[in-house]
Chains A and B, each alone.
Chain A
């Protein structure tokens, strides 16, 4: 494989995507997970928009010049609706977090599991095993 500087955009996109994924996997706080998902989402949007760019092009708003070069309008259309849908679904996730906080008094995943399964932890039951910490 070759490492072409023309791929710099995509590498940063991957870095952002992995940062978001890491946040979702490793953090126990529910709001932090939602923030991680948002970072992930921006990275996907960035990926599409990067692909739509044409060298020397301009925004796809038609002008009189016949020789004008335009960037691709399609990724713009798809991504602009995705952003608004993204904030609406984020709101659903946050609403769930608010209700969870009202029910359990915490947003930390392990504390919620503790309250759900008792102090012994969820290890014995069906809950996620990696949260089990004896003592």
Chain B
């Protein structure tokens, strides 16, 4: 049964990918990309990667779709049609040859689901076997244990990358805008009564769910990355319906920027605390009298830091993109004349 679902979903995924390439209407392409993400989230669940599915569903079908739509709103939403761009034999040739080489390469791969594949030896059995005694017997989700403790360095690096990306987007879009950033109150969606009425009770529920995912990540699928994205989705929904100005009444740009850094600081702080207490960086054993309690405390802090950073980064990104506003009609001409040397 699962194999059948796997085959069908993968076939859908392939069809959707081809549709994405062929669509000229960028708006439609972005929406299909959302479907693509949702399908892949379903596939990840079939393949037992529930945490990945959770992340893909909230990121791919949620935040990344919204960011792309925001980009289209301030730029253009149709790909220009050019006869010579319709079909590119060179590109097709490169792709077919590379694809054929890769398919040939798969003949040496272990079969799908093979328990004897090399990837399932070495570290994975160690993690599965020793999480209860090395980390904490009350953390059944091995993915969380590996993410926050065994591979804490790696996750710290990833959190820093997210932080850096937010700084870059801030530099690109946050500075003195060349165009008017003010738009008359609320988005176009704000005018719709049904949307306003249905969004209002949804927003607190989404935020509450985000907190549940954050603090339940040790026991089930979830954790800081997913929770941060869901929390941001709640704020983004509010901003979409009620306008970015009202959303920024509490989460002003300044405060969000501080939160972006705060999360990384909490993570790094939990690491440095290990050094101060006489251990190594990100050594949680020393954070409490009992190493198991220490591990739990460390994982809690690290996940909290990740959650804060991710939520703040995603909300900041959304506000930066939408804050860019529509260029006034004369602005386009200015850009054009500047472009010609």
Contacts and interface: CB of A to CB of B under 8 A. Distances in A.
Size bracket of the A interface: 35 or more
B327 interface: yes
B10 A12 contact: yes
B282 interface: no
A98 B56 CA distance: 25
B341 interface: yes
Interface in A27-83: 27-29, 31-32, 34-36, 38-39, 42, 45-46, 49-63, 69-83
B181 to A, nearest CB: 12
Contacts of A106: 76
Given A72-B119, A98-B324, A105-B339, A36 B88 contact: no
Q: Is the interface of B mostly helix, strand, loop or mixed?
A: helix
A103 B143 contact: no
A79 B23 CA distance: 28
Nearest to A20: B17
B185 interface: no
A107 B75 contact: yes
Nearest to A96: B172
B75 to A, nearest CB: 4
Contacts of A28: 79-80, 82, 85
Given A4-B111, A94-B71, A12 B143 contact: no
B195 interface: no
Given A15-B17, A95-B321, A102-B335, A80 B52 contact: yes
Nearest to B313: A88
Contact of B158 (A4, A75, A81, A110): A81
A86 to B, nearest CB: 8
Contact of A83 (B52, B142, B179): B52
B31 to A, nearest CB: 11
B90 interface: yes
B339 A87 contact: no
A8 B11 CA distance: 10
B82 A95 contact: no
B75 A98 contact: yes
Interface of A: 1-4, 6-12, 14-23, 25-29, 31-32, 34-36, 38-39, 42, 45-46, 49-63, 69-92, 94-99, 101-108, 110-112, 115-116, 118, 130, 133
16 contacts: A1-B104, A8-B10, A14-B99, A22-B92, A28-B82, A28-B85, A36-B21, A49-B47, A61-B219, A73-B124, A80-B49, A86-B59, A94-B321, A95-B172, A104-B335, A105-B335
Interface of B: 6-7, 10-11, 13-14, 17-18, 20-21, 26, 29-30, 33, 36-37, 40, 43-44, 47-52, 54-56, 59-60, 63-64, 67-68, 71-72, 74-76, 79-80, 82, 84-85, 88, 90-92, 94-96, 98-99, 102-104, 106-107, 109-115, 117, 119-120, 123-124, 127-128, 131-132, 140-143, 146-147, 151, 154-155, 158, 161-162, 165-166, 168-169, 172-173, 178-179, 219-221, 223, 225-226, 228-229, 310, 313-314, 317, 320-321, 324, 327, 331-332, 335-336, 338-341
Given A4-B111, A83-B60, 12 more contacts: A14-B102, A21-B95, A29-B79, A52-B119, A71-B48, A80-B51, A80-B147, A84-B225, A85-B161, A92-B168, A103-B335, A107-B75
